[in-house]
Amino acid sequence: MKALRVLVLAAWALVALLPLVWLGLTSLKTRADTIRQEARFVPVLARPGAGEPEAPAFAATLEAYGKLGEVHIGAEQSFWQHLGHSLVIAFFSTVASVLLGTFAAYGFSRFRIAGAKDWLFFVLSTRFMPPLAVVVPILLVYRRLELGGTHLGLVLLYTAFNLSLAVWLMKGFIDEIPRAYEEAAEVDGYPLLAAFWRIIVPQAATGMAVTAVFCLISAWNEYGFALTLNHSGAITVPAYFAGLQGSIEGMPWPQVAAGALVFVVPIVVFTVLVRKHLLRGVTFGTIKQ
Amino acid sequence: MTAPRREMLGYAFVAPTLVFLVAFNVFPLAYNLVLGFTDAELVARGFEWRGTANYGRVFADPEFAQALRRTGLFVASAVAIELVLGFVVALALRARFRGRDVLLTALLVPMMLSPAVIGLFWNLILDGNYGVLNQALGALGLAEPQWTTDSDFKFLSILLIDVWMWTPFMLLISLAALNSIPGTLYEAAEVDRAGRWTVFRRITLPLCAPLLGLAALLRATDALKQFDLVMAVTGPNDERTQTVSTLLYQVLFRDGKLGLGSAYACLALVLVIALATVFTRYLDTLARRST
């Protein structure tokens, strides 16, 4: 039984992690090395005058990372600029959705709201909307307001998109804060709003941080809206990379791998930071452990 | 504070969120419904009323029926494969051992990554000529299919990437389900000298079922939207891989037919809302059972 367990784990670990290892290796190659008939997977440091290493070795280079600053044919900006757009959009939409989500979660948790349950399920169901099915009206309105291709346009959209997650996660966290604290504050004559800022917010700080990470990740990774609303101007990284497909020169695989790695490293770091809360995050707070 | 004032304050806390969500969800739905009766186009301004002509076309369109079937097949196979794989890996990860938490965190990474970006990179791994997967298969003496271009394999390739990305999700929830089973049940089974298979069938599986159901529904609602991976592997207009979302992209943005596309979207949304209703009902039953 134990042998079987080890076998299953080893097999899945290989399947799960090898593609990521390959991503890392590819980012260290030249384009010629990425498309060889005989795969090369042992990076060696290139020594000047030593000639080309034999397969399976390849001369590791940081060239691809250097080229991330170049503007690729068919694009108007470099990878770093697109990364900047992704950062701005993900950051501001996260701040907005965590703030609004915390307010709403507090409202639902502590006050009597008519039809609260129906509203909460409405909030959750907005998460299930396929972007492509709701994007046209948004596009037409954005055209009028000149929000297409701007940071603000996607910030507003991602805030709306992430609110469902923020409200449900924060409601779970706020429900766990004992009411006695606020009641004591109320007896002491604190106005309710002060109680919210001085008691709820500090108590819910961990929850807010976890919620922020999940909002940040989904805004960072989003593609459907980014592709259709921001095909010019503030193009985020997923839409930028997809746009490289079908370029005449073929895919610049080392740069794609280097860029993808730069793009996913923050996500991996955040995943490690919130590892204890992953379950809550991916189930909208419906499973707590 | 007086009761009515307190009540008003509650609404003040929830109102901004609800207004936001109505603006970005209910308004587009209503707008779509109207657009579906017009011949609006992406580039042209102005439009004319077309009555139910768009809906007539949608229902007569074999492409839409095909995309629906394709999406259904994708959702069913992705959820089933990921659930089984995730549960099996969770069973293997159940026992505590050194380095278990590190391994678990590492195994969960794929589901946090961007499907559009990582899906694009998978094209390099799956490439028929120089892809590393085929070289590995070749070394083992196995067939080397043209994963992303052979019409019999394209759909499978997308499914494969999805399984890679989302099995961790099922693994995570399966582990939680397994951990929630009280140890006393297993002790009682041991006293009764129940066999391993009996214990699994009578204790483990039934007690995990509610959470696994939740996981399957969550994953299904997400897989129903499948867009990013199809775009990354074949683009939106491949008859072998076209899902509802990519069909919408093709009609709306490549063909520029907003009126017709909106009719498609409205029909697709009926399905989404139906599934969302099933999901929220299920959540409600689960919550009620646990309190």
Report whether pLDDT(A73) > 90.
no
For residue A271, give the nearest of B112, B114, B224 by CB distance. B112
Q: How far apart are CA B238 and CA B192, in angstroms?
A: 57
CB under 8 Å to A154, separation ≥6 — which residues?
Answer: A89, A93, A225, A226, A229, A230, A234, A236
Question: Rounded to a whole number, what is the distance in Å from the CA of B147 to chain A's nearest CA?
Answer: 16
Mutate to test the interface with A, among B2, B11, B19, B21 (most CBs of A within 10 A): B21
Nearest CA in chain B to A104: B14
Q: How far apart are CA A31 and CA A61, in angstroms?
A: 11
Mutate to test the interface with B, among A89, A128, A138, A186 (most CBs of B within 10 A): A128
**Chain A contact for B220 (CB, 8 A cutoff):** no
What part of B 114-173 touches A (C-beta under 8 Å)? 114-118, 120-125, 127, 129-130, 132, 135, 164, 167-169, 172-173
Contact A107 B231 (CB under 8 A): no
Domain ranges of chain A: 2-61, 79-282
Summarize pLDDT for B213-264 with one digit per residue, the tens. 999 999 999 999 999 999 999 999 999 999 999 999 999 999 999 999 999 9
Summarize pLDDT for A3-51 with one digit per residue, the tens. 999 999 999 999 999 999 999 999 999 988 998 888 888 898 877 777 7
Question: Rounded to a whole number, what is the distance in Å from the CA of A11 to chain B's nearest CA?
Answer: 10
| Range A108-117 average pLDDT | 93
**CA–CA–CA angle A159, A161, A167 (5° rounding):** 80
Summarize pLDDT for B93-131 with one digit per residue, the tens. 998 899 999 999 999 999 999 999 999 999 999 998 889
- What the block records as the tokens of B79 is 């959820």
Report whether pLDDT(A107) > 80.
yes
Domains (range + CATH), chain B: 72-254 (1.10.3720.10)
Contact A289 B85 (CB under 8 A): no
Report whether pLDDT(B196) > 80.
yes
Report whether pLDDT(B3) > 70.
no
Partners of residue A115 in chain B, C-beta under 8 Å? none
Contact B280 A131 (CB under 8 A): no
Question: Rounded to a whole number, what is the distance in Å from the CA of A17 to chain B's nearest CA?
Answer: 7
**Chain A contact for B194 (CB, 8 A cutoff):** no
Which one, of A59, A67, A82, A42, lies nearest residue A236 by Cα? A82
Contact A192 B176 (CB under 8 A): no
CATH class entry, domain A79-282: mainly alpha
What part of B 38-77 touches A (C-beta under 8 Å)? none
Model confidence band, residue A93 (pLDDT cutoffs 50, 70, 90): very high
Partners of residue A123 in chain B, C-beta under 8 Å? 17-18, 21
Summarize pLDDT for A168-213 with one digit per residue, the tens. 999 999 999 999 988 888 888 888 888 889 899 999 999 999 999 9
DSSP state letters, chain A: -HHHHHHHHHHHHHHHHHHHHHHHHHTTS-HHHHT-SS---EEEEPPTTS-PPPTTEEEE--HHHHHTTSPPTT-SS-HHHHHHHHHHHHHHHHHHHHHHHHHHHHHHHHS--TTHHHHHHHHHHGGGS-HHHHHHHHHHHHHHHT-TTSHHHHHHHHHHHHHHHHHHHHHHHHHTS-HHHHHHHHHTT--HHHHIIIIIHHHTHHHHHHHHHHHHHHHHH--HHHHHH-SSSS--HHHHHHHTTT-TT---HHHHHHHHHHHHHHHHHHHHHTGGGHHHHHTTTSS--
